[in-house]
Structures are given as C-alpha cells and as structure tokens.
Amino acid sequence: MKISVVGCGYLGAVHAAAMADLGHDVVGIDVDQAKIDALAAGRAPFFEPGLPEILTSASASGRLSFSSDIVAASEATVHFIAVGTPQKPGSYSADMTYVDAALEALLPILKPGDLVVGKSTVPVGTASRLAERVREVQPAARLAWNPEFLREGFAVQDTIAPDRLVYGVASEADDAAASKAQLDEVYAKALSEGTPLVVTDYATAELVKVSANAFLATKISFINAIAEIAEVTGANITELADAIGFDARIGRRFLNAGVGFGGGCLPKDIRAFGARAEELGRGESLAFLKEVDAINLRRRQRVVDLVVEMLGQHAFEKRVAVLGLAFKPDSDDIRDSPALDVAVQLNGLGALVSATDPEAIANARAKHPQLHFVTAVEDAVRDAEIVVLLTEWTQYRALRPADIESLVSGKRIIDGRNVLDAAEWKAAGWDYRGMGRP
C-alpha cells in the first residue's frame, strides 16, 4: 500500500519505518526539517532499540522516504496522523493544535477513496469532528481511528506485532466496510498471525486508548499507595506485589512500586481524560484519576524527603549521585520523568548533584542546563554521600556494592525502583532504602 505518516516523533517515526519494513511504500512527513534530514539519512532522532536497523533497511529498499512537504504524501491512499497531543499550557486538556494542523494540511491532497487514520491519543469526540471536516472538503474520502498502544523501548516490536488492533470506523455500513478493508490490508501480516481485532465506533476507539492508559496509571498508583502504608508498617511491597500478583485476576505486571510513572503518555493522558470528562458533565466519574496523579507525584517527593533525612536533615552542599534521568529504561525520553524531576528538586535544595544516564543526558541537559551531568557511573558516585537510583537501566540493576564502595564518601543508597538486592547492600554495610521496603 502507499502510506503517508504525518508526524515523525516517537510514534510516527517508528510507525513509518515499521510500515515500510512490512513491505508498504511509506512517506513520513514532519514540519521539523532537522528531524526529516536525520530520518532521511537513516538516523533515528531519538533512542529506540531496533529503530536504526529498520530505518536503514527500509530506506535501502527504496520503500521509505521523508519530507517536510505534504505534497510528498499525494500518492498515498492511507494517511496516518501521528502527531503529539501534549498537555495544553495552563490547563489539563490536550492541546489539539497539531492534530488539527495535520488534518488541515492533508485535506487539499486527499483523493476520492483515500483514508485518513488517526493514531494520536485524543479527547473522545475528536474523530467524529475530524470526519465531518474530511466530508466537507473531500466527500469521497474517509476517516478511521486506530489508536496506538506502543511502549517506548519496545516500540518497533509493538508496532510490527501489536497485542491487539482497534479500528474506530464511521457508522455508515459502506464507509465502515471500506475503511476496514483498507486497514486490514495495512495490517495484513499481524492479522494473518492471529492478532485480535476490535472493530468499533469512533468514540469507543478513542476511549479504549485513554482507558487503557488510565488503568495502567491506576495500577501503578495503587501499588505506590500501598507502598506508603508499607513504609509506616514495615511491610515489604515487593513481596506483597508478588503475592497479590499470583492471582490471575490481578496479575504481577505494572505492580512495581517506586518513584512512579512519567513519560509523554500516562501523566498527560490521565489529565486530559479527566478534563474531557468534566467537559462532558461527568467529572465525578474520573475524579479518582486526580488521586492517581497525586499519589504518583508524592512518590517523587518521598525520594527527595528520604535523601534529606538520610543526609541528616539537609541536602545543602551534599554530594548526591543520581543514576537515571529517562522516565524509563531503554529510552532517552525525559518528558515528565520522575528521575529528572527528583534530580532538579535536589539541585534546588542546594545539593551538589552529579547525574548520569546511558542515553538521556543530552535531552536532560537541554532542558535543565543547571544540573551537572557525567557519562560514567564511577564519575557520578565519586565522593557521593548518597547514591539515588531512579531509572532501572540494566547496568544499574546489575550494580553490586563492591563496584562503587571505594568511590563513595558515604555508604547510603536509595533504590527508587526496588531493583537491587536489599540484603546484599545491607550486608555490605550500606544504609539501603527502597520504596515501600523495610
């Protein structure tokens, strides 16, 4: 199929490359010329495992190109909208500027039979509004909503072999059948491998996405709320999560207590969902998401308070090593990162923070140049009075006391992701503190 992907960020760049990898002819469009230049040269503009490989192979096959000019999308028959919907400044609502601009850019090039496919996470009601706009300008073109569930760090695999596909299509039967047929062709490989497919209306497709993210955020905040109780009772949140996770109805995944969730999706999506519910006169239905948000943000404060407490009630002029800046491992994404937030707060308290991360330093430095960044763990921990692990990269999970104890000036460590062997660190004479662990 001939496909265009408008928006080449974390979602769109991966989607474009993955669609070309599947054998489609793809053009990626973005207004950011620097991003287009990098992608066209086969360079991923952000860190995502597996992306450079499929970018290179797809470009070499001649099936993948990039352009900042929408006219390059004229020959495509399926046009994906994969632009961002960030939190609107001064509000909890989603900023729809980029989605609206992407559709307006596409409208003049739409041909009869073309399908516009929304992938961005949007407030419920957006798809029917955009479908109306498509009908006004090109009555023989159509719109579908096909939410994306990819996780950063696993984005390539999640796009090529998703755990489910959801199509939100128009209510008219002919329109719905034609949209489904086109999407089935796009996703022929995944469908032939038995990927579950849900074909539904626009509103359901939009709500599936935000509900999934709200559920995941709630699951994480649930275990973090219990961690707060564990902290005052001496209980162990990791053993508790293991024990409740054996119940198949609960499940162990997404029950890791720690410094909480961040990233470009969960935080802003639960806020936008709550804001949309208020607009719909159903604010009380999602009022619990405010609590989910508040629990999550308290975990960052908990780490800061713990550092201050362990350093003798003040952090001023104390050397603090921060391991991890990305919002999760295998990503260089620092959007709403709990790790970076904690580093900035400690710096603000006058601590001498040395922060490191395998991939996210450049992004963190661009946003917070006041922090001191070092590339090696050894440099971060040298003379540190406390070590704070905030993103569970494999290399940090593998840290043993002997690796760093000759370098630090105080044997204190906070395991903000509960990934170290507490007994081992304590046995080596460290003051070890986890999150919700005794």
Residue from 27, 266, 289, 384 binding ligand UDX (CB under 6 A): 266
Interface with ligand UDX includes 220 (CB under 6 A)? yes
Tell me, by CB under 6 A, how many residues bind ligand UDX: 20
385 in Cβ contact with 407 (< 8 Å): no
Q: Is 328 in the site for ligand UDX (CB under 6 A)?
A: yes
Can you tell me which of 221, 256, 363, 418 binds ligand UDX, judged by CB under 6 A? 256
Name the residue nearer to ligand UDX (CB basis): 16 or 106.
Answer: 16
CB of 50 to ligand UDX, least distance (A): 14
- Distance (Å, whole) CA 245 – CA 253: 8
Q: Draw the binding track, 118-157, toward ligand UDX (x: CB under 6 A; -: no contact).
A: ------------------------------xxxxx-----
Q: Is 159 annotated in some ligand binding site?
A: no
Tell whether 403 is in a known binding site. no
Q: Which of 261, 393, 425, 430 binds ligand UDX (CB under 6 A)?
A: 261
How far is 325 from 342, CA to CA, in rounded Å? 9
Check whether 256 is labelled as a binding-site residue.
yes
Q: Could you tell me which stretch among 38-46, 48-56, 257-265, 305-313 binds ligand UDX (CB under 6 A)?
A: 257-265
Q: Does 288 bind ligand UDX (CB under 6 A)?
A: no
Judged by CB under 6 A, which of 9, 50, 260, 274 binds ligand UDX? Answer: 260
Considering only 24-32, 62-70, 251-259, 350-358, which stretch makes contact with ligand UDX by CB under 6 A?
251-259
Q: Is 222 in the site for ligand UDX (CB under 6 A)?
A: no
- CB of residue 132 to ligand UDX, shortest distance in Å: 27
How far apart are CB 436 and ligand UDX at their closest, in Å?
12
* 265 contributes a contact to ligand UDX by CB under 6 A: yes
Q: Of 110-118, 160-168, 263-271, 317-325, which segment contacts ligand UDX by CB under 6 A?
A: 263-271
> Nearest distance from residue 373's CB to ligand UDX, in Å?
20
Instruction: Give whole-number Cα distances, 6 to 117, 209, 387, in Å.
Output: 10, 20, 43
Q: Which is nearer to ligand UDX, 118 or 258 (CB)?
A: 258
User: Could you say which residues in the range 199-218 bind ligand UDX, by CB under 6 A?
Assistant: 213, 216
Point out the residues that are catalytic.
265
Check the annotation: does 312 bind a ligand. Answer: no
Q: Which two tokens stand for residue 46?
A: 């952000």
Known binding residues for NAD(+) are 30, 35, 85, 121, 152, 268, 335
Footprint of ligand UDX on this chain (CB under 6 A)?
Answer: 148-152, 213, 216, 220, 254-256, 258, 260-263, 265-266, 327-328
